[in-house]
Structure 1
Amino acid sequence: MPDAVDLITAAWRQQRPDVDVSPMEIMARLTRLSRILDHEFRTFFAAHKLEFWEFDVLATLRRSNDENGLTAGALNKAAMVTSGAITNRLDRLAAKDLVKRIPDPTDRRAVRVHLTPKGRALVDELLPLHVANEQRLLKDLDASDRDQLAGLLRALSESFGDTTIS
C-alpha cells in the first residue's frame, strides 16, 4: 500500500521526470516520521504533566550515573540546543524541584546540575512507561525489521558524525 511519500514522489516524477527524486523517499519519510513521533511523545509526556524536553534533560542526568552531576555545557551538548535554551530549561526544572544546581567544588566558575530526589523518582517512574510507549509505536515492525532499521539509521547518523553524546 502506498504511503504519503509514495504519492508525493509519484507526483514529482510525473511533473519533473528529469529530476531523480529518489532521495525524497528517505528524507521525506524521516521528516514526516519525526513530526509524527514528536507529536506522539508530546502527547505521552503531557499526560504525565511533563514536556518531552524535560524528560530528556532528566533522563540525561539519570543515565549519567555520575554523583558529581553534569555541567550545563554537557547537558547543552546532549540536548543539542543553545546555551540560553539550556539555562532556561534548567531554570524551569529547578522551579519544579526536579534538578538543583551545585557549585563545582574544584572550579569556582562551574556549576554542576543534579537530579533532586523528586526528579530521580520521576525519571525512574516514567522510563518503563516511555519504553512501553516506544514499543507500541514500533509494534508493526518485527524484531528483524527493527534490527535492520536501527542499523541503517545508525549508519546514517555516523555519516553525519553523530557518534558521541557529549
Structure 2
Amino acid sequence: MTKIYANSGTHLFLLFWKASYSVMQYDEASVARAGFSSLSDFAVLEVLLHKGSLPVNIIGEKVLLTSGSITTAVQRLEKKGLVRRERGAEDGRVVLVHLTESGRNRIEEAFALHAADLDQLFEAFDESERESFAALTRKIGERAARLM
C-alpha cells in the first residue's frame, strides 16, 4: 500500500477536500436557515442581487449549473414570483432574468443572514491569514484550470 506523505499533493488534496466538504455543509445549513430549501435558488437570486439582470445562460455559468438545471431553477423562482423573464429587446433569442420586488426583498434579507454566518465561520482566520487563504485558493484554482 502506498503511503501518503505529509504535505504531498495527495495529502494536501485530502485536507482541501475534507475542509471544502465541511464548509459546503455549513454553507447549505446557513442557506436553509435563511429560508431556502435549494442552494441553487439562493445562488440564482444572489447573483441577480449583486450583478443585476442577466441572461439565463450567464447566470448558469456564474452559479455552476447546467443549461437544463438553470432553466428549471429560473422557472421555479418565476412560479414563486421572485424573478421574471423577458426576451431581450435587441436580440429575441436572449432571455433576461430580473428580480421582482418580492425577490429583491427576499434575497436581501436572506443574504444578510448568510453573510453573517460566513463571517462567523471565517473568524477562525485573522486578517493576514484571510489574505493568505484568498491568495492560495486563487493560485491553486488558476493552476488547476491551466493544467486541464
TM-score band, normalised by shorter chain: 0.7 to 0.9
Q: Are 1:152 and 2:136 counterparts?
A: yes
Q: Is the 8 A contact 2:35 2:110 kept in 1?
A: no
Query: What is residue 62 of structure 1 aligned with on the other side?
Result: 49
1:121-161, Cα deviation, whole Å (9 max, x unpaired): 12211222212111111122211111111110011122234
Q: Structure 1, unaligned stretches of length 5 or more?
A: 1-14
Q: Is the 8 A contact 2:34 2:113 kept in 1?
A: no
Q: Is the 8 A contact 2:55 2:94 kept in 1?
A: yes
1:44 counterpart letter in structure 2: S
1:23 deviation in Å?
1.0
Provide TM-score, normalisation by structure 1.
0.78
Query: What is residue 33 of structure 1 aligned with on the other side?
Result: 19
Q: Are 1:95 and 2:79 counterparts?
A: yes
1:131 counterpart letter in structure 2: A
**Alpha-carbon distance in structure 1 between the residues aligned to 2:20 and 2:65:** 17
**Alpha-carbon distance in structure 1 between the residues aligned to 2:61 and 2:103:** 20
1:131 and 1:49, CA in 2 relative to 1: closer, same or farther beyond 3 A? closer
1:32 deviation in Å?
1.1
1:83 deviation in Å?
0.3
SS at match of 1:16: coil
1:48 deviation in Å?
2.5
**Alpha-carbon distance in structure 1 between the residues aligned to 2:28 and 2:64:** 18
Structure number with higher helix proportion: 2
**Alpha-carbon distance in structure 2 between the residues aligned to 1:111 and 1:16:** 52
2:60 counterpart letter in structure 1: N
Query: What is residue 11 of structure 1 aligned with on the other side?
Result: none
1:49 deviation in Å?
2.3
Q: Of residues 100, 110, 128 in structure 1, which corresponds to 2:112?
A: 128
* Number of equivalences: 144
1:20 deviation in Å?
5.4
1:16 deviation in Å?
2.5
**Alpha-carbon distance in structure 2 between the residues aligned to 1:148 and 1:34:** 17
Q: CA RMSD for the aligned pairs?
A: 1.9
Q: Are 1:107 and 2:91 counterparts?
A: yes
Provide TM-score, normalisation by structure 2.
0.87
1:40 deviation in Å?
1.0
What fraction of aligned residue pairs are identical, expressed as a percent? Answer: 28
